[in-house]
Amino acid sequence: MGDKTEALTSILKLQPVVPVLVIQDLAHAVPLARALVAGGLKAIEITMRTPVALQAIRAVADKVEGAVPGAGTVLNAGQFHQAVEAGSQFIVSPGTTIELLDVARKSSVPLLPGAATPSEVMSLKEEGYKVLKFFPAEQAGGAAYLKSLSSPLAGMQFCPTGGITPDNARDYLSLPNVVCVGGSWVAPKALVEAGDWDGITRLATEASRLAA
């Protein structure tokens, strides 16, 4: 678990914001990923919410230099295996199940499991996890809630996702137990559909500077 924790942490520390993408059109995957990498956001979470998600992960893994593709919204062992086969270098789940923990234990690809309560965090800590996804961040209590976990659950690190915007991202990034945040604002639907890759690179550049 130690090696996988280090691998996951090194990916999440590449940038303060991990883009969370819902790709509807496969043709958008490569230029979108290139635009994000150009703006300094190399680790990219492609959610398994669309029929083209696996193809999008594979395309980014094969064709976008510098990108570190991951799969998000992974709900079961089957999706975990499919995402790894497509080229995912990390796996993200909104919550945690025994099935996911079992498949993750056997894989060399690290899992960022979701947690939202102290009990969930404690259970994952017992499993050897040190880095978790805090989801849904804003709805579950926001930065103030996450800050309150830092003392009783010392040593646990989080990537908050859900309701994170440029306006509140720094509230999270300033916390001692936050390694990065996940956000969809760096790839807004309107810009993606318009093919405004320069606009997305500008948003990515701004996001990459949030921790400065």
In sequence order, which residues have a C-beta less than 8 Å from that of residue 178 and are 6 or more positions away? 146, 157, 158, 159, 160, 172
Q: Phi/psi zone of residue 44: left (φ > 0), alpha (ψ -120 to 50 degrees), beta? A: beta
pLDDT at 92 over 70: yes
Q: Which of 4, 13, 42, 45 is catalytic?
A: 45
Known catalytic residue at 133: yes
Q: Which of 85, 133, 138, 206 is catalytic?
A: 133
pLDDT at 211 over 90: no
Q: What is the pLDDT of residues 121-159, one digit of tens each?
A: 999 999 999 999 999 999 999 999 999 999 999 999 999
The residue ranges of every structural domain in the chain are 2-207
pLDDT of residue 2: 87
* Assigned CATH for 2-207: 3.20.20.70
pLDDT of residue 28: 98
Q: Select the more confidently predicted residue: 152 or 212.
A: 152
Q: What is the pLDDT of residues 2-49, one digit of tens each?
A: 899 999 999 999 999 999 999 999 999 999 999 999 999 999 999 999
Q: What is the pLDDT of residues 38-77, one digit of tens each?
A: 999 999 999 999 999 999 999 999 999 999 999 999 999 9
pLDDT at 212 over 70: no
User: Per the structure block, which two tokens stand in for 22?
Assistant: 């819902």
